[in-house]
A and B are shown apart, each in its own frame.
Chain A
């Protein structure tokens, strides 16, 4: 009984205490950066520029989180992002007329969005097919799928970048609403709200986490594992597509190999934000705060010209290891406490006999 209990608790649940801790870390990092470089850090321009990068991997993190909650992992999110973006952008370049009106711009924007999301959904369908119907483990299915999808991008672009994107599209990335909220941030917020609703308030979300926790029991409870997997990866694919459009808008060109490092960053963000890589647990709020923390830290480092971009990689990696170590240790502690409480309860009831 004792070992079954300890095994049963071998995971991390996102509790209020964890969320509080994340917020504290965020607040502290923000403060530290502000103090170190007050002139640069707390200016509107800086906050805006800081906010411009995170929506991309924020949305990708949401896609990764869905896959993790389902008990898997999605290493194809970046490939899907690029591929969907490339197809949508090629459409745009081909059909966009010169000197179009604002209305035409809006229509084309919508079309681009729809096309990208559809392609993203298709990629997700392919991946979920490989996982659910063929039985390939998610890690391999998404790793191989990524090669396939990126390979398709390479065929489409013949290895070079896609340029000549109509100007209005790039402007979308830089526009701000109400004078300070960049559009990409709003896009991220919308995505986050949608995912949060789906996860917390719908039966899909519930079934997803149950399946991720124990796929056997979920099958034995009448849950359609294949359908839930399908939905999770298709949704992930659609999110990746949106992220892909943001990436292209910011770079003003499309390539098959943008954002290669994003995959690892999204894993760090998810794990830091309380998502359990073994499945069953994950919260949008946790992921969001994790993104903010990492963004603050890395922009902070950007400000110091002596520290090059590559240091960011070191930080990401170190943070990931530290987070995993911390999770592991706090879990051992929690399990120990639980076991002690159980022993106490047992001896109390034994005495009562």
Chain B
């Protein structure tokens, strides 16, 4: 009886002409917590879907607990073999109670026709006992936090006597405290003999919870090793294939300049408190912190989405009141949001429309009609200046790649000639090449010393490389301010994650 629970051998998977996985190997020992690491497009999601039977590999084999699975391996087979996957969207029912969410699927799979509510409660309680957590059984899931929903998803998975639990980016939306709780559950499960495969790109978690890790890049194995052997620098190199190159951004700050943007004692109920900072001409200010630290709330508040409850905002020395996104636009504040697909872009509309929408009121003639030629000329100007790769201006923006889409969002805001440009997670979901491209553009913007640029990000590397000054936010308050001069990643990470 071997001690290997999962053995993936030489698995290859193609989609059309693209090779998503190229002879990939993965091995998990029983009772191990293993982390699958890789950036966007590395193939880790595809690999998970093959292990769970959602995709069929074009080559190679999947072996679970010694049983080699055939080409007919389906999701039902995977479940029967003891594999449970918890995807990022968790597949829970917000309108049902905790207990029913846990018991429903297993009752369904046992083909029950009637519902016994007492049994539902018992089943749910059993699951909670197994993972060592207690939760109110009769609360509706929609009233609960993302972290709690995840615990319910885990409880549900555990009912199936899972031998291998796969979790896809489980910590993306969790706070530090919630991550601790999750890891406690995970260790608990490990103690009961469940093996766990974690998919993540967050290095801290990899080091904290996993015994071994495997790095994928471009669909290929890069390395598999014990976490004790890894360092942050090595990991960054494994994942991206490159070390920190190029110079960190250096700002040309002159004496006597008025701040382009200043915030004094800004407060938002339940959001943040006493936030004060300045942005001088030529600077790029970075704001970083863990998820749930208040950094996104701050960004949204500065754009009027959650108007601040008290405090002052000054643009080029003049005080302004930002009580709505319309007011923000009027005062020439621009916000590039983190989720471009739902917040930044109109996927079905044309590229040209996406670029011109924020500034459209300024493109009208006296009689109210839009100056089509001017709009077109401007759109083409941005296409060239930002090197956006597109077919025709009339094409739907859904046809562009992630990096080019983000460039369009940037163009939309640059069109408004903003005084303040706030970028939240500007390179999320963007491939490496486009990432550096976007960074270069952002650096160019501050050259004319008329626009304040603020980059908000949880990508520590991004912030160090592109911001001359970095503010750290924790629990809605500014806790540290650092210069990027001589700052290395490890130091910044420890400042961000320290409990102070």
In the complex they form, whether A and B have CB atoms below 8 Å apart is answered with yes
* A4, A9, A213: most-surrounded residue (chain B CB, <10 A): A213
| A6 CB to nearest chain B CB (Å) | 9
B370 touches A202 (CB 8 A): yes
B18 touches A343 (CB 8 A): yes
B18 touches A350 (CB 8 A): yes
Asked if A217 lies at the interface with its beta carbon under 8 angstroms from chain B, I say yes
| Interface members, chain B 286-344 (any A CB < 8 Å) | 303, 305, 324-326, 328-329, 335, 337, 341-344
Q: Chain A contacts of B399 at CB under 8 A?
A: 5, 338, 342
Q: Chain A contacts of B364 at CB under 8 A?
A: 202-203
CA distance A346 to B41 in the complex (A): 13
A213 touches B348 (CB 8 A): yes
Nearest A residue to B343 via CB reads A220
B17 touches A217 (CB 8 A): no
Asked if A216 lies at the interface with its beta carbon under 8 angstroms from chain B, I say yes
**Binary interface encoding of chain A residues 196-207 relative to chain B, with 1 for a CB under 8 A from any of its CBs, else 0:** 010001110011
A38-46, A94-102, A221-229, A289-297: which lies at the interface: A221-229
**Binary interface encoding of chain B residues 186-203 relative to chain A, with 1 for a CB under 8 A from any of its CBs, else 0:** 000000000000000000
CA distance A42 to B356 in the complex (A): 48
A344 touches B17 (CB 8 A): yes
Known A4-B341, A11-B348, A220-B344; judge A347-B357 contact (CB<8 A): no
* A7, A13, A203: most-surrounded residue (chain B CB, <10 A): A203
Contact partner of A210 among B18, B328, B353, B396, CB < 8 A? B353
| Interface members, chain B 355-375 (any A CB < 8 Å) | 356-358, 360-361, 363-364, 368-370
Asked if B347 lies at the interface with its beta carbon under 8 angstroms from chain A, I say yes
| B393 CB to nearest chain A CB (Å) | 14
* B19, B349, B396: most-surrounded residue (chain A CB, <10 A): B349
A13 touches B348 (CB 8 A): yes
Known A5-B398, A202-B368; judge A222-B348 contact (CB<8 A): no
CA distance A210 to B412 in the complex (A): 13
Q: Chain A contacts of B397 at CB under 8 A?
A: 8
B17 touches A351 (CB 8 A): yes
Contact partner of A348 among B17, B324, B357, B358, CB < 8 A? B17
B342 touches A8 (CB 8 A): no
Contact partner of B357 among A210, A280, A346, CB < 8 A? A210
Asked if A214 lies at the interface with its beta carbon under 8 angstroms from chain B, I say yes
Known A203-B370, A346-B17, A350-B18; judge A217-B326 contact (CB<8 A): no
Asked if A219 lies at the interface with its beta carbon under 8 angstroms from chain B, I say yes
CA distance A197 to B369 in the complex (A): 8
How many Cβ-Cβ contacts under 8 Å join chain A to chain B? Answer: 111
Asked if A21 lies at the interface with its beta carbon under 8 angstroms from chain B, I say no
CA distance A5 to B399 in the complex (A): 7
| A168 CB to nearest chain B CB (Å) | 35
| B451 CB to nearest chain A CB (Å) | 17
Asked if A209 lies at the interface with its beta carbon under 8 angstroms from chain B, I say yes
A344 touches B16 (CB 8 A): yes
Q: Chain B contacts of A347 at CB under 8 A?
A: 16-18
Asked if A133 lies at the interface with its beta carbon under 8 angstroms from chain B, I say no
Asked if B73 lies at the interface with its beta carbon under 8 angstroms from chain A, I say no
B346 touches A201 (CB 8 A): no
Contact partner of B346 among A13, A213, A338, A351, CB < 8 A? A213
Q: Chain A contacts of B328 at CB under 8 A?
A: 222
Known A214-B345, A217-B342; judge A224-B398 contact (CB<8 A): no
Q: Name the prevailing secondary structure of the A interface residues.
A: helix
CA distance A224 to B358 in the complex (A): 11
| B93 CB to nearest chain A CB (Å) | 21
A223 touches B357 (CB 8 A): yes
CA distance A121 to B341 in the complex (A): 35
Known A206-B370, A224-B326; judge A343-B16 contact (CB<8 A): yes
| B101 CB to nearest chain A CB (Å) | 25
* A8, A202, A280: most-surrounded residue (chain B CB, <10 A): A8
CA distance A314 to B358 in the complex (A): 45
A201 touches B370 (CB 8 A): yes
Q: Chain A contacts of B347 at CB under 8 A?
A: 7-8, 213-214
A217 touches B345 (CB 8 A): yes
* A2, A218, A220: most-surrounded residue (chain B CB, <10 A): A220
* B335, B341, B396, B398: most-surrounded residue (chain A CB, <10 A): B398
Nearest A residue to B17 via CB reads A347
Q: Chain B contacts of A280 at CB under 8 A?
A: 346, 348-349
Contact partner of A221 among B15, B17, B18, B357, CB < 8 A? B357
A343 touches B15 (CB 8 A): yes
B345 touches A9 (CB 8 A): no
A220 touches B17 (CB 8 A): no
| B317 CB to nearest chain A CB (Å) | 23
Known A206-B357, A224-B326, A344-B17; judge A13-B343 contact (CB<8 A): no
CA distance A187 to B81 in the complex (A): 71
Q: Chain A contacts of B324 at CB under 8 A?
A: 224
Nearest A residue to B361 via CB reads A203
CA distance A280 to B350 in the complex (A): 11
* B343, B348, B397: most-surrounded residue (chain A CB, <10 A): B348
A9 touches B325 (CB 8 A): no
**Binary interface encoding of chain A residues 270-292 relative to chain B, with 1 for a CB under 8 A from any of its CBs, else 0:** 00000000001100000000000
B342 touches A214 (CB 8 A): yes
Q: Chain B contacts of A216 at CB under 8 A?
A: 342-343
* A4, A201, A281, A350: most-surrounded residue (chain B CB, <10 A): A201
CA distance A202 to B367 in the complex (A): 9
B398 touches A8 (CB 8 A): yes
List 18 extra interface pairs beyond A9-B398, A280-B348, CB under 8 A.
A5-B398, A8-B348, A202-B368, A206-B370, A209-B353, A214-B345, A220-B337, A221-B329, A221-B357, A221-B358, A222-B325, A222-B329, A222-B358, A223-B358, A280-B346, A343-B15, A343-B16, A350-B19
Provide a sorted-by-A list of 6 A–B residue pairs whose CB atoms are within 8 angstroms. A206-B357, A217-B346, A220-B325, A224-B324, A280-B346, A346-B16
